[in-house]
């Protein structure tokens, strides 16, 4: 099972919107998706309930993830994979770094917004590599130029 986490130190940065949108698109492509909501506001959980009552075509399971369950996160993810889920998406809280760290350690991909650093007058750099230590490699987004360069490098290595 693949895991994606949206992280930021600030609330209102769009983590829930991104998590919900990604979950919907992934489900529409055949993924079996579970979205785990760590945010105390539970916006993603409320979205999941509204979506469930709307009788939509593609199913996305949304569950709250209480902070007390984080020490067992690896076992929880193994159980979810055993239940047939292929993708887990984490919506995290903004200010609780202690709660976010275990998620960053298990996630295959983390998207983290950092303070705005201007690369040029027109293009802000909004994402950076997650700085927490992890056993798994983390991905990051910075600019279209760097993404294109990374794809080209991966293509050269595969040939």
Eight-class DSSP state of 119: S
pLDDT at 129: 43
Determine how β-strand 124-127 pairs with β-strand 109-118: antiparallel
Give CATH superfamily name and number for 2-158: P-loop containing nucleotide triphosphate hydrolases (3.40.50.300)
Q: What's CA 51's distance to the chain center, in Å?
A: 19
pLDDT at 121: 44
In contact, 90 and 6? CB cutoff 8 Å: yes
pTM: 0.69
Other C-beta atoms closer than 10 Å to the C-beta of 71 total 10
pLDDT at 113: 59
What three-state secondary structure class fits 9?
Answer: coil
What does the alpha-carbon distance between residue 138 and residue 73 come to, in Å, rounded to a whole number? 18
Half-sphere exposure for 78 (CA within 13 Å, toward CB):
4
pLDDT at 148: 64
**Which parts of the chain have pLDDT scores under 50?**
114-143
Exposed, middle or buried by CB within 10 Å (0-12, 13-18, 19+), for 10?
A: exposed
In contact, 101 and 132? CB cutoff 8 Å: yes
pLDDT at 149: 65
């Amino acid at each position: 099972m693949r895991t994606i986490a949206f992280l930021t130190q600030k609330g209102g940065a769009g983590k829930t919107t991104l998590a919900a949108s990604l979950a919907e698109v992934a489900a529409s492509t055949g993924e079996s998706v579970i979205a785990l909501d760590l945010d105390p506001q539970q916006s993603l959980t409320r979205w999941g309930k509204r979506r469930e009552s709307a009788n939509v075509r593609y199913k996305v399971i949304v569950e709250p993830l209480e902070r007390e369950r984080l020490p067992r996160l690896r076992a929880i993810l193994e159980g979810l994979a055993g239940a047939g889920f292929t993708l887990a998406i984490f919506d995290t809280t903004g200010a609780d770094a202690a709660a976010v760290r275990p998620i960053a350690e298990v996630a295959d991909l983390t998207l983290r917004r950092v303070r705005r650093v201007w690369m040029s007058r027109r293009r802000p750099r909004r994402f950076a590599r997650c700085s927490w230590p992890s056993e798994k490699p983390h991905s990051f987004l910075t600019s279209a130029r760097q993404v294109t360069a990374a794809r080209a490098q991966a293509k050269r290595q595969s040939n």
